Chain A
Amino acid sequence: MKKRHIFISILLALGIGAGAVTYAISPTGHEGKIGEAPELGRPGKYQIGTTVRDYVMPGRFTLTT
């Protein structure tokens, strides 16, 4: 086996190891059950309300024909 083959094998092993560690410690995209929304898509802890308000902005320009 040539030295460069050994070197490439080591690099490959390190790359696969780093990828596996990154996947394991950043679970946002894959944690949870199959079919379940990823963490960022899950609702937060607060109940929510909604309302509507109107705002008047005087002195505004509008382009007309």
Chain B
Amino acid sequence: MSGNLESGNRILSVRFWYPAKTTSKAASENYRHEMKPFGQEPLIINYQGRAIADAAPLSGQKFPIIIMSHGFGGWNTQFSDLGEHLATHGYVVASIDHADQRVEGVPSFLLSFGNVLTSRMLDQRQILNKILGQAALETGPFIQIDPEQVGLIGYSMGGYGALAASGAPYQFDADPMANIPEAAKTAMQNVTKRPSPIDALVAISP
């Protein structure tokens, strides 16, 4: 894997679903995503969910937190049915949008995939840490989170990242990890050395 490394801020959007106080009259959220497949017409995915946007969280109870992580080229409402379903059963669900780089041919595929290889588990662990840090401090769904009950659901490359984020070691001296630039590899190794706060893992097609 060749190329340069740039260091900077990584900003990711996270979609939350949580138990809430709502009225039946409130309109549910509409989920919209625009896919732009290389060489094809854009595809707009637009559908109505069940959750109410920015509804007040249910107070006086603590719920487990579940991080959800999509596959290569996915997005954070891709599994909104699952996220909403879990929330109805008493979980706070935080679905990361990993903002994978758009693929426009073989070179950009390799670059995008290389970034996914190096970033998934870091995204999962760092965002989880930030959410747990907010749990006792903020209003909104954070106040509901029980930091002692943490789950992670990853699909495909999200599942690949979830394995390491939960404590499984990567073989850094084997392909394709052996080809990752040293600084990026070190950043991943630093995270895997720390104890994982994740209690339950579901890796779907990792």
Contact A43/B7 with A49-B57, A55-B130, A60-B119 known, Cβ cut-off 8 Å: no
Which of chain B's residues have a CB closer than 8 A to the CB of A65?
Answer: 3-4, 107, 111
Stretch at the interface among B12-20, B32-40, B147-155, B170-178: B12-20
Tell me if A53 counts as interface (CB < 8 A to partner B).
Answer: yes
- CB contact list, B48-95 vs A, under 8 A: 49-58, 84-85, 87-90
* Complex contact A46–B90 (CB within 8 A): yes
Tell me if B114 counts as interface (CB < 8 A to partner A).
Answer: yes
* Complex contact A49–B55 (CB within 8 A): yes
Tell me if B136 counts as interface (CB < 8 A to partner A).
Answer: no
- CB contact list, A37-65 vs B, under 8 A: 41, 43-65
**Complex alpha-carbon distance, A56 and B123, angstroms:** 10
Stretch at the interface among B160-168, B180-188, B198-206: B180-188
**Complex alpha-carbon distance, A53 and B122, angstroms:** 18
Q: How far is the CB of A51 from chain B (nearest CB, A)?
A: 5
* Complex contact B11–A63 (CB within 8 A): no
* Complex contact A54–B14 (CB within 8 A): yes
Interface size on B, residues (CB 8 A): 55
**Complex alpha-carbon distance, A10 and B85, angstroms:** 45
Tell me if B115 counts as interface (CB < 8 A to partner A).
Answer: yes
* Complex contact A48–B84 (CB within 8 A): yes
Tell me if B118 counts as interface (CB < 8 A to partner A).
Answer: yes
* Complex contact A44–B17 (CB within 8 A): no
Q: Which A residue sits closest to B86, measured CB to CB? A: A44
**Complex alpha-carbon distance, A61 and B1, angstroms:** 15
Tell me if B5 counts as interface (CB < 8 A to partner A).
Answer: yes
Which of chain B's residues have a CB closer than 8 A to the CB of A60?
Answer: 7-10, 119, 122, 187
Q: Which A residue sits closest to B89, measured CB to CB? A: A44
* Complex contact B10–A56 (CB within 8 A): yes
* Complex contact A46–B4 (CB within 8 A): no
Contact A49/B88 with A61-B183, A64-B111 known, Cβ cut-off 8 Å: no
* Complex contact A50–B114 (CB within 8 A): no
* Complex contact A63–B22 (CB within 8 A): no
Q: How far is the CB of A22 from chain B (nearest CB, A)?
A: 25
Tell me if B104 counts as interface (CB < 8 A to partner A).
Answer: no
Residues of B participating in the A interface, judged by any CB pair closer than 8 Å: 1, 3-22, 29, 49-58, 84-85, 87-90, 107, 111, 114-115, 118-119, 122-123, 126-127, 130, 140-141, 181, 183-184, 187
The 7 closest A-B pairs by CB, nearest first: A49-B55, A49-B20, A44-B89, A50-B51, A44-B88, A60-B10, A46-B19
